[in-house]
Amino acid sequence: MSKNILITGAAGFLGSHLCDRFIKEGFNVIGMDNFITGDAKNIEHLKNHPQFRFIKHDVTEHITIEEDLHYILHFASPASPIDYLKIPIQTLKVGSLGTHNLLGLAKNKKARLLIASTSEVYGDPLVHPQTEDYYGNVNAIGPRGVYDEAKRFQESITMAYHRFHGLETRIVRIFNTYGPRMRLNDGRVIPAFMGQALRGEDLTIFGDGSQTRSFCYVDDQIEGIYRLLMSDYAYPVNIGNPHEISIKEFAEEIIKLTKTHQKVVYKELPVDDPMQRQPDISLAKKLLDWEPKVGRAEGMAITYNYFKGLTEEELYKSAHKDFTNHIKR
* Predicted pLDDT at 317: 77
Instruction: Give domain status of residue 306, yes or no.
Output: yes
* Predicted pLDDT at 270: 78
* Residue 147 appears among annotated catalytic residues: yes
* Predicted pLDDT at 324: 53
**Domain that residue 221 falls in:** 4-324
* Whole-number Å distance between alpha carbons of 143 and 139: 8
* Whole-number Å distance between alpha carbons of 50 and 39: 21
> Measuring CA to CA, how many Å separate 22 from each of 30, 64, 293, 299?
10, 21, 20, 22
Instruction: Give domain status of residue 204, yes or no.
Output: yes
Instruction: Give domain status of residue 73, yes or no.
Output: yes
Q: Which of 169-173, 185-189, 221-225, 282-286 has the lowest mean pLDDT?
A: 185-189
Please, are residues 158 and 169 in contact by the beta-carbon 8 Å criterion? yes
Please calculate the CA angle 48-53-59 and round it to the nearest 5 degrees.
140
Percent share of the chain, pLDDT over 90 = 79
pLDDT of 318 > 70? The answer is: no
Helix (H, G, I), strand (E, B) or coil at 161: helix
What value does the mean pLDDT take over residues 77-98?
93
- Of residues 328 and 304, more confidence is placed in 304
* Predicted pLDDT at 320: 54
* Predicted pLDDT at 323: 57
* Predicted pLDDT at 160: 98
* Predicted pLDDT at 12: 97
Strongest mean pLDDT among 134-143, 169-178, 187-196:
169-178
* Predicted pLDDT at 325: 55
- The domain that holds 224 is classified in CATH as 3.40.50.720
* Whole-number Å distance between alpha carbons of 218 and 273: 23
Instruction: Indicate the average pLDDT of the chain.
Output: 93
Instruction: Give domain status of residue 129, yes or no.
Output: yes
Residue 242 φ/ψ, nearest 5 degrees: -80, 0
Instruction: Give domain status of residue 329, yes or no.
Output: no
> Measuring CA to CA, how many Å separate 18 from each of 21, 60, 67, 103, 323?
5, 21, 20, 20, 25
Ramachandran class of 9: left when φ > 0, alpha when ψ lies in -120 to 50, beta otherwise: left
* Predicted pLDDT at 81: 84
pLDDT of 157 > 90? The answer is: yes
Give the strand pairing for 4-8 and 71-74: parallel
Task: Count structural domains, the chain.
Answer: 1
Instruction: Give domain status of residue 49, yes or no.
Output: yes
Catalytic residue among 122, 147, 178, 304: 147
* Predicted pLDDT at 319: 54
